Chain A
Amino acid sequence: MKKMKAIIAMLATALVFGGAMTVITAPAGAEGSNSALTMSIAAVDLEGPAISDIVVTLKNTSATAMSDVSVKVTGPINWTLYPETQTLPAALAAGATATVKAEIHVPNNPEGSLTRNFTATATYAGGDGVKTSFTERNQFTGAVPASLAELFDNVGTTTVAAIPQGNYDGEKNSFSRERLAEKGITPGAKVTAAGTEFTWPAAAAGEPDNVSAKGQTFTFSGKGSKIAFLGSGVAQGAVGEATVHYTDGSSSKGTFGFPNWGFDPATAHGAKLEVTTKGRNTPAGYANAEYDYRMFSNTIGIDQAKTVSMVTLPNNSGIHIFAMAFVPAAEVPPTTAPAATAPATTAPATTAPATTAPATSAPATTAPATSAPATVDPSVAPSAEPTTAEPSPTTVPSTQAPTIPPVTTVPTTDAPGTGAPTVPATTKAAAPGSTTTASSSTGGTTPASQGPSTGAGLSETGSSSAPLLAVAGLLVFGGLALTATSEVRRRNRASHR
């Protein structure tokens, strides 16, 4: 039934967008751009193999002319394009528009959902003096998977009986389902972390239960202040940039990552340790019980005034994602500074809370956040090509360097009101040989330590007096923990991916 629903959702998405090729346009221009040279990229015909046009329209909205206007166009990597850069033959008068066109070789699209990104970067003199402008357009080919679960391509957790199917790290090792169950992590369980509630995959033992991030795009509908990810890393450097697509056609980006499941500092890449289990399943059976194997959460900020329609995962297969959820928009009093996670280019943090969850600042450990369910709503389809000429840029352009401006990257620190800062996991990582840690397995500090239960809270902090405890913990454990962690890291890295 679930699979049928997903299929129907996918078909509905495909039908809305005209059959086999799903094309969702992004409004032209750079949202929030402070350049008076506004730009838009027209829809690119992606029916390949063929040579298609990339048409960029420029408009000088300043009061004075712009000269030496040069436009550089890019398409998907290695798609032959000509010309890459063009200069307008004459100055662009105030209020005037111009068009540049490039040809691009569109290949024969392979199966599957693919994101095609086109950008235009302009430099100019005069006008408003900003000197640079940027716009991008995302289009998609193929039917967009209806949920994260449809992307699952890795068996990351196994029971002892299902060990042969496991291959979380490429060396046929996997998390132990039995150990996870002791922390309340069971198929379909509600998991509270990162200020929201996740639904742990319901996959049966031996079936794929997580996705290795390779730039896939899938339907993920809802609203909130952030998108939270629950997962872990393989090898090192499991970090990358995700793209969030909104129903109005705009998009934003955010970088997140996970530490390696067996080593790396638990806060690497801005992650937060959520689950620590002992040992793992290996081809030889359950083993390495003296080591910790960990799950983390991480978040990226999103525009809470907008409705998310899809997410493109980072292009880094070391990132393994088991679940995702929206973090409800936090209610910020008018006198309070906007939440640090709110995208600077969009509505202020005092916007209305997420439509599906009450904005709450309760610590995750005490009250599971009623986060937006990650259900698929095929009716939440982006609108057709915007009819207004006013562009809606997706990124903040640089005001100085005549290069593509830095994308808006929302920091993944905890939002105010979600509790005390987490005690750095290095202070809690197991000292060599230690069987007790400040993780949930010791009991007492977190609900999860009390045995399997639904709605397991996974925060390591526990209480509102955590800041003092955290500092104390740092002072007491800092030196030892750093040494211990290094030792553990050296030991583990040799045998881990």
Chain B
Amino acid sequence: MPHLSTASRRTVLGGALATGLLAAMAPGSLAARNAQARPAGQETMIGVPFERHETVRVGVIGVGNRGNSMTIGWSAVPGATVVAVCDIRKDRATNMAANLQNRGRPRPADFGGTADAYKTMLNTMDLDLVFIATPWEFHHAQGKAAMEAGAHVMVELPVATELAELWDLVDTSERTRKHLMLAENCSYGRNELAMLKMAHEGVFGDVTNGHGGYLHDLRDLLFADGYYTDDWRRKWHTRSTASFYAMHGLAPIAAAMDINRGDRMKTLSATATPPKGLADYRARKVPKGHRSWNEEYINGDLVTCMIGTEKGRIIRAEHDVSTPRPYSRINSLAGSRGLFEDYAGGGSTGARVYLEPEHGGHNWADFAPSRGKFDHWLWRKVGDDAAANGGHGGMDYILQWRTIQSMRTGIIPDIDVYDSAAWCAPVPLSVMSLADGGRAVDIPDFTRGGWVRPRVGLDSVELDMPPVA
């Protein structure tokens, strides 16, 4: 196995932003990179199925807030076994191993204690799937290493924060023939999947615009001691202004518009409001002398990206974790014959529709009947298990169940490296656009031309999970 280089967290944190700024100031080099032909020895990963696995051996890097619940979820999926866990804090990994054993699962090997401990895990364990739930700045390096170690990879949001890193992950996936998938659980939301099926059926007519985002008041957690290890997430707000985490709202809209499956995101222009929210919260609620008083927050409270597609559609993606508001991913889609709006209150689904010819008179209709008609088979088949085994209303488990099913049956993943890169591209591109006064910047075509052809994605053929021997 190749010896992997060492990188301290400080170096990575400092380097990531610098790299992004340099890229932003060199549009010519970016354009050149975007136009670069596929390197020799690489082929597209579009349409490439997983090889069949009787049992999927899962390794987890990062068992903190997110990794903890997801590891338990992986272990509950039929045909998946968590065989290794790793955390920079060794005690977390050891505790997780014991936790799984107490639940009646095979005890996984545990690694940790250093920033490079994950490399030891990758070098010594035979893993089919690696799940990465570490701070954002480590995702690129760990994702790349896992693919080079011979495993398919699922990475928490975002898979990378720099354009060069996104391209690198695409190239690595194509070179190693291993899939890299964004752990976009919201793509498997019940409302989101029904909206997707309705869009494909033509219920909204010709879809022309969609709106999504991540609007989640995280102020309490951002300032809570110990919740985010070493305050990693709050510190991102001191480094740059960017749409860090809009993928949860962007991805379902992109899927409904067949992005990378007949259309593609082409341009992005960003706006940002002043950074008031975190400072105002600190002034009112954080004692003087707290280490956060040494920080200056520069990330705009609300960063909005307007994305234009090749077919002329628009997607609005918002990001706001700094101001008080009820949670919302917006999740709205509209076309020539109607629209869908989530987080609209009322009804059992929380969503509403207005569809021709059924509806009229400027009266919204409850989404429940439409969702019943277009309910995705995953929720009909796995919904009950999801509620019992997964967080976020069951979306987490649906994501995990479907991923393991895809690997065990040997089919094409619902989410591929091109989807992952495209959905995460607004992170660095919003920086670039904001640095240029909000002007539109080009969004790379990570598929290198493969986006033009239609292909099935999340609106999948119903399939059973193979029985476990």
Residues of chain A at the chain B interface (Cβ within 8 Å)? 49-51, 76-83, 103-105, 107-111, 170, 212-215, 235, 315-318, 497
Minimum distance in angstroms from B335 CB to a CB of chain A? 7
Q: Are A110 and B201 in contact (CB under 8 A)?
A: yes
Q: Mark B438-461, 1 if CB is under 8 A from A, else 0.
A: 000000000000001111100111
Q: Are B197 and A81 in contact (CB under 8 A)?
A: no
Given contacts A77-B206, A110-B201, A170-B360, 18 further A-B contacts (CB under 8 A): A49-B200, A49-B461, A51-B453, A51-B454, A76-B202, A77-B336, A80-B258, A107-B201, A108-B200, A108-B459, A108-B461, A110-B197, A110-B374, A214-B357, A315-B357, A316-B357, A317-B360, A497-B361
Q: Which residues of A contact B452 (CB under 8 A)?
A: 82-83
Q: Given A49-B200, A77-B202, A80-B261, does the pair A235, B360 have CB atoms closer than 8 Å? A: yes
- Which of A103, A107, A110 interacts with B453 by CB under 8 Å? A103
* Complex: A80 Cα to B199 Cα, angstroms: 10
* Complex: A318 Cα to B373 Cα, angstroms: 23
Residues of chain B at the chain A interface (Cβ within 8 Å)? 197, 199-202, 204-207, 258, 261-263, 335-337, 356-358, 360-361, 363, 373-374, 452-456, 459-461
Q: Which residues of A contact B204 (CB under 8 A)?
A: 78
Q: Which residues of A contact B459 (CB under 8 A)?
A: 49, 107-108
Minimum distance in angstroms from A339 CB to a CB of chain B? 32
Q: Are B454 and A213 in contact (CB under 8 A)?
A: no
Closest to B263 in A: A80
Q: Are B200 and A105 in contact (CB under 8 A)?
A: yes
Q: Given A107-B197, A316-B357, does the pair A78, B453 have CB atoms closer than 8 Å? A: no
Q: Are A81 and B461 in contact (CB under 8 A)?
A: no
Supply 15 A–B pairs (Cβ within 8 Å), ascending by A.
A77-B202, A78-B199, A78-B200, A78-B201, A78-B204, A78-B205, A78-B335, A81-B262, A83-B452, A104-B454, A110-B373, A214-B357, A315-B356, A315-B357, A318-B357
Listed from nearest, the 5 A-B pairs whose CB atoms lie closest are A80-B262, A317-B357, A107-B200, A105-B454, A77-B202
Q: Which residues of B contact A78 (CB under 8 A)?
A: 199-202, 204-207, 335
* Complex: A79 Cα to B455 Cα, angstroms: 11
- Which of B205, B361, B455, B460 interacts with A235 by CB under 8 Å? B361
- Which of B336, B337, B358, B455 interacts with A105 by CB under 8 Å? B455
Q: Are A50 and B358 in contact (CB under 8 A)?
A: no
Q: Are A77 and B205 in contact (CB under 8 A)?
A: yes
Minimum distance in angstroms from B180 CB to a CB of chain A? 23
Closest to A169 in B: B361
Closest to A104 in B: B454
Q: Given A77-B337, A105-B262, A110-B373, does the pair A51, B456 have CB atoms closer than 8 Å? A: yes
Closest to B451 in A: A82
Q: Which residues of B contact A105 (CB under 8 A)?
A: 200, 258, 261-262, 454-456
Q: Which residues of B contact A107 (CB under 8 A)?
A: 197, 200-201, 459
Q: Are B202 and A82 in contact (CB under 8 A)?
A: no
Q: Which residues of B contact A213 (CB under 8 A)?
A: 357
Q: Which residues of A contact B206 (CB under 8 A)?
A: 77-78
Q: Which residues of A contact B201 (CB under 8 A)?
A: 78, 107, 109-110
Q: Which residues of B contact A103 (CB under 8 A)?
A: 453-454
Closest to A240 in B: B357
Minimum distance in angstroms from B226 CB to a CB of chain A? 45
Q: Are A82 and B454 in contact (CB under 8 A)?
A: yes
Q: Which residues of A contact B460 (CB under 8 A)?
A: 49
Most buried by B among A51, A212, A213, A316: A51
Minimum distance in angstroms from A231 CB to a CB of chain B? 15
Closest to A102 in B: B454
Minimum distance in angstroms from A167 CB to a CB of chain B? 12
Q: Are B358 and A317 in contact (CB under 8 A)?
A: yes
Q: Which residues of A contact B356 (CB under 8 A)?
A: 315, 317
* Complex: A214 Cα to B452 Cα, angstroms: 32
Closest to A214 in B: B357
Q: Are B455 and A51 in contact (CB under 8 A)?
A: yes
Q: Which residues of A contact B357 (CB under 8 A)?
A: 212-215, 315-318
